[in-house]
Amino acid sequence: MRVSMKYNGVPTSCETFSYGEVEDYTVNITATGGDTQAPTAPSSLTSSNITQTTVDLSWAASTDNVGVTGYNVYQNSSLLGSVTGTSAQVTGLTAGTSYSYYVTAKDAAGNESPASNTVNVTTSPATATYCASQGNTVTDEWIKRVVCGSIDNTSDVNGGYADFTSISTNMIKGSSYTITIYPAWSGTVYSEGYSVWIDYNQNGDFTDAGEQVFTNVKTTATSVSGSFTVPSAALTGSTRMRVSMQYNTIPASCGNFDYGEVEDYTVNIGAKSYSTSASSLYIYPNPANDVITVYLKELNKSANIQIFSITGSLVKEVRISDLYNKVNISDLPSGIYNIRMIYNGEVLNGKFIRQ
């Protein structure tokens, strides 16, 4: 390295001049630049958009004395890959499986920061496949109608089995629901046994404790009915409800039998428990005499509305949309009512007075 100072002008590297001085030094240039300081640890690592096979990770940026050049993403403590930004989408995961993640920052010299916080992720459950079940003969008897929550399905004869999983009702953990089954006979009235299951843990069977939610011993009654409470341990999300009717005995959840019918439905189990404290629904007018209007915040949407008496009994359930959001309450006795709407997986509550 040459340092040069010249009177009254800028010196060139090779010249002799009258006034001034030149000094030569030595500089040793190394390959790494000598940066030995690692970046700070990334912070605030969070996961989002968890699906059966992917998860999105994002974190707060690290700093470095020279500069952060990228981040290493670790899955179950093994390096998965590197990115330059502060987010990453992990793909190729297995449904219903737990994974742990942390990230580190790195600089151009290859220094790696300490690990960020760790986040644990469980991918969405695999789509369950259920055992087959059906009545072999529906000449004499079948399930005519099923009513549960907002399901009210009159089906008549379905050849022994019907997949009605496109028909669903919402349910909230800790809340009680009533199911009513109506049989029909072509001639002679035979005794029929009944059973209903809900796959609360979404593992594709009806055999876990508490999943048989209703049974009725053989009867010639024109309808059977019972109540059950959705356990707090039930998984949030959509799952299967199986309704079965068999001649002369209570049916099993799997397999074929001689006489009767099986119908499958979908139940959407809500994450939040019912609270009457917060009033997050806008209801007009209030108090009201005959009709209330309940406002949905988004267009082209619909939602189920449940109205409860002050003692907690479900007295009305209707479906509203942004195009038709009126609920007839003229049949309700005067009093205070709680109203609940399950919308986008969220529970919105309100109160109104029937004058």
Its sign, for the CA torsion 139, 144, 146, 150, is: positive
163 binds Ca ion (CB under 5 A): no
Q: How far, CA to CA in Å, does 217 sit from each of 117, 136, 144, 242?
A: 55, 20, 18, 17
Give the tokens for residue 40: 């700070």
Distance between CA atoms of 236 and 149, rounded to whole angstroms?
17
Closest approach, Cβ 266 to Ca ion, in A, equals: 15
C-beta separation of 207 from 201 below 8 A: no
192 binds Ca ion (CB under 5 A): no
64 binds Ca ion (CB under 5 A): yes
223 binds Ca ion (CB under 5 A): no
Give the tokens for residue 145: 């109608």
Question: CB-based burial of residue 32 (10 Å sphere; 0-12 exposed, 13-18 middle, 19+ buried)?
Answer: exposed
264 binds Ca ion (CB under 5 A): no
112 binds Ca ion (CB under 5 A): no
Q: Which of 112, 205, 317, 322 binds Ca ion (CB under 5 A)?
A: 205
153 binds Ca ion (CB under 5 A): no
Q: Which of 203, 249, 286, 302 binds Ca ion (CB under 5 A)?
A: 203
Distance between CA atoms of 327 and 285, rounded to whole angstroms?
11
Nearer to Ca ion, 37 or 222 (CB): 37
35 binds Ca ion (CB under 5 A): yes
Nearer to Ca ion, 66 or 291 (CB): 66
40 binds Ca ion (CB under 5 A): no
Nearer to Ca ion, 122 or 158 (CB): 158
Instruction: Please list the residues that pair with 332 across neighbouring strands.
Output: none
Q: Which of 5, 32, 31 is nearest to 18 (CA)?
A: 5
Q: Interface with Ca ion by CB under 5 A: which range of 156-164, 189-197, 228-236, 243-251?
A: 156-164
Q: Which of 3, 5, 66, 336 binds Ca ion (CB under 5 A)?
A: 66
139 binds Ca ion (CB under 5 A): no
Distance between CA atoms of 7 and 10, rounded to whole angstroms?
8
CA angle in degrees (0–180, nearest 5) for 266-267-270? 150
Nearer to Ca ion, 33 or 85 (CB): 33
Q: Which of 208, 258, 290, 346 binds Ca ion (CB under 5 A)?
A: 208
Q: Which of 40, 87, 155, 165 binds Ca ion (CB under 5 A)?
A: 155
- Contact positions vs Ca ion (CB under 5 A): 35, 37, 64-66, 107, 143, 155, 158, 199, 201, 203, 205, 208
